[in-house]
């Protein structure tokens, strides 16, 4: 189903749409984090970021595989390599350029905090066994992403003058892209009715509390929660950055569609 | 080369020990750099525990480990071959124990 089609009508369409939304966020952010490979500030952090990127791409891969099975597509690669930016349902937070280390940490922290609460609630309500199994498996890794990025927020914020300034700037810059995590459209409403998604406002306070507590502990100013928020990515209105990312990510597969590792 | 090129800007070194299974002794896995204990644990996890190698970690600042020196090899590790009374072969083994072998 492409983005400008009508909203899901059946339980299965709603499930596919939910799987793709979750997967697209994770594929695109995983790709961005993978851009750190070989450029991490220390060898150990290089490994940590590569692991987080692999986890996210792995989550996306599992979700796509299930969607492909339901939709009768050949395989997971169809979704990753043969869709245009307008068909991608990820939020803009995930597609913004790599940024510096502070920006990377701020982004992983906000996204993992959101994923943490979302998966926690989803595990309780999703009846589809295969989907629920994935959520439980991935939840363990999300907890680690949250722990890792939270510890870094504390250290950068309460670290040197320079690290404090950089992580503060990162949060100030990324904040307007955090609202999209909580936006719900008609497709989400259908998913919610089918016990495939949760009303994100149910955990928004918990999310805010964890974020605010962490920023305060890190001696950082919490950005204005009421400021203008970017929106529309889930409906295909992306920033200019996604097209470039896809051009790089997809070109090999599109140029040589039958290429394989041999 | 800048003037500071000889200055050590690396994080301190930590030794990593992992426990393969419940009840088993911890084994040395290797070392990691980290600015503090929590990050040392995380780096240990990322470096040595991605393939279910163990269930628990110890991290210890490397400079806190007291090690014997190569010169200690004599007094510390000299085998007891010249002290036969330390070996148990002079005791006769009961027949029941022998059978079980």
Nearest alpha-carbon partner for A20 in A187, A182, A178 = A187
- Half-sphere exposure (Cβ direction) of A71: Cα atoms closer than 13 Å: 23
Q: Could you tell me the residue ranges of all domains in chain B? A: 13-90
Which of A40, A41, A44 should one mutate to test binding to chain B, selecting the residue with the greatest count of B CBs within 10 A?
A44
pLDDT of B89 > 80? The answer is no
Distance in Å, alpha carbon of A48 to nearest chain B alpha carbon:
6
Asked whether residue B78 carries a pLDDT value surpassing 80, the answer given is no
- CATH number for A53: 1.20.1260.10
- Model ipTM? 0.78
Which letter does DSSP use for residue B26 in this model?
A: P
Q: How far is B39 from chain A (nearest CA, A)?
A: 8
Please report whether residue A48 resides in a domain.
Answer: yes
Instruction: Identify the domain containing residue A60 by its residue range.
Output: 11-254
Q: Tell me which residues of chain B, numbers 2 to 31, contact chain A at a CB-CB cutoff of 8 Å.
A: 10-11
- List, for residues A54-83, the tens digit of each pLDDT value: 999 999 999 999 999 999 988 899 999 999
Closest-CA residue of chain A to B37: A151
The predicted pLDDT at position B81 comes to 66
Is the pTM higher than 0.90? no
Contacts of A137 in chain B (CB under 8 A): none
List the structure tokens of A109: 């922290």
Total structural domains within chain A? 1
Query: Looking at the domain assignment, is residue A5 inside a domain?
Result: no
**A43: chain B residues, CB-CB within 8 Å:** 33
A91: tokens are 């939020």
| Terminal Cα-to-Cα distance of chain A (whole angstroms) | 33
Q: pLDDT band for position B96 (50/70/90)?
A: confident
Q: At residue B101, does pLDDT exceed 60?
A: no
Average pLDDT over residues B55-77: 85
A259 domain-assigned: no
Output the CATH code of domain B13-90.
Answer: 3.10.20.520
Is there a domain that residue A218 lies in? yes
**Locus of tokens 């870094």:** A152
Low-confidence ranges of chain A (pLDDT < 50): 1-2
Cβ-Cβ contacts under 8 Å, A155 against chain B: 35-36, 39
CA terminus-to-terminus distance, chain B: 68
SS3 of chain A: the string is CCCCCCCCCCHHHHHHHHHHHHHHHHHHHHHHHHCCCCCCCCHHHHHHHHHHHHHHHHHHHHHHHHHHHHHCCCCCHHHHHCCCHHHCCCCHHHHCCCCCHHHHHHHHHHHHHHHHHHHHHHHHHCCCHHHHHHHHHHHHHHHHHHHHHHHHHHHHHCCCHHHHHHHHHHHHHHHHHCHHHHCCCHHHHHHHHCCCCCCCHHHHHHHHHHHHHHHHHCCCCCCCCCCCCCCCHHHCCCCHHHHHHHHHHHHHHHHCCCCCCC
pLDDT given at position A5: 58
């Amino acid at each position: 189903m492409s983005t400008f089609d009508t909203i899901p009508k059946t339980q299965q369409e709603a499930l596919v749409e939910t799987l793709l939304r979750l997967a697209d966020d994770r594929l695109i952010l995983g790709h961005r984090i993978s851009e750190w490979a070989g450029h991490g500030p220390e060898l150990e952090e290089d490994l940590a970021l590569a692991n987080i990127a692999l986890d996210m791409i792995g989550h996306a891969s599992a979700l796509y595989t299930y969607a492909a099975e339901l939709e009768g597509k050949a395989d997971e690669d169809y979704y990753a390599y043969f869709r245009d930016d307008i068909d991608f349902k990820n939020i803009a937070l995930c597609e913004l350029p790599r940024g510096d280390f502070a920006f990377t940490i701020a982004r992983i922290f906000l996204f993992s905090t959101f994923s943490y609460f979302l998966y926690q609630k989803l595990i309780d309500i999703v009846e589809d066994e295969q989907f629920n199994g994935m959520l439980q498996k991935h939840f363990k890794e999300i907890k680690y992403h949250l722990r890792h990025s939270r510890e870094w927020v504390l250290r950068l914020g309460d670290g040197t003058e320079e690290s404090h300034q950089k992580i503060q700037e990162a949060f100030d810059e990324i904040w307007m892209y955090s609202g999209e995590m909580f936006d719900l459209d008609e497709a989400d409403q259908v998913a919610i009715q089918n016990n495939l998604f949760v009303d994100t406002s149910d955990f928004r306070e918990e999310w805010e509390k964890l974020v605010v507590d962490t920023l305060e502990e890190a001696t950082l100013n919490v950005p204005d929660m009421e400021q203008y928020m970017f929106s529309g990515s889930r409906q295909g209105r992306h920033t200019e950055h996604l097209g470039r990312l896809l051009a790089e990510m997809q070109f090999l597969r599109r140029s040589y569609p039958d290429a394989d590792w041999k | 080369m800048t003037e500071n090129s000889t200055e050590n800007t690396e994080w301190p070194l930590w030794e990593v020990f992992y426990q393969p299974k419940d009840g088993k002794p911890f084994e040395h896995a290797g070392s990691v750099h980290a600015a503090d204990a929590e990050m040392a644990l995380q780096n240990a996890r990322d470096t040595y525990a991605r393939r279910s190698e163990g269930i628990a970690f110890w991290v210890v600042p490397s400079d806190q480990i007291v090690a014997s020196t190569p010169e200690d090899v004599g007094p510390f590790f000299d085998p007891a071959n010249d002290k036969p009374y330390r070996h148990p072969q002079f005791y006769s083994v009961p027949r029941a124990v022998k059978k079980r072998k």
